[in-house]
A = this chain, B = another copy of it.
């Protein structure tokens, strides 16, 4: 039973709140019993009251009091693939990245592909937002140019709607940062989600990704 905050495992957990340490050690943390149950084999697992004093576990948790378990895991990455997948460029918010990983797991067969400048999918917040889907289907890392498959970029200024594009697989839906969108010259067909006049110009990026996956997956199934 760990009784001192000076313990090496607790120190490792605290370090892994920081992206640089996650990259250096190739490890990350999952907090809470639901995530720990969804996870792969841990490097180590601390259960409150069994392995460690509950107060000490709370102290290294990003969710605070009442944390029952924290596991430390090696990172894994998928290869890009599948009939339908999502590519993210510059999506900075870890909650959005985690939520998109969850939605993709629910709606398409390919992993989420992370391009440049995205939030770390293995940050505590992203892992939590994924609700365990990051374990079921780890994200991939790639540049769009290396995907060698048809890319359709979500773009509020596009002429075609998502319902009007050819849903022939394999296809990757590409989304950019909320304000900036995809960079100019990003090589992809473009399509938009039709929104009501007088409403907001765009949806939250996680909403847009989920909705686009749903629409295209349905059309792929209808054309199959």
Contact = CB atoms under 8 A, between A and B. Distances in A.
Copies of this chain per assembly: 2
Interface residues of A, dominant DSSP: helix
A106 B203 contact: yes
Interface residues of A, number: 28
Nearest to A217: B196
Nearest to A129: B204
Interface string A131-167: 1110010000000000000000000000000000000
A107 B195 contact: yes
A199 interface: yes
A207 B95 contact: no
Nearest to A214: B211
Interface of A: 95, 99, 102-103, 105-109, 129, 131-133, 136, 193, 195-196, 199-200, 202-204, 206-207, 210-211, 214-215
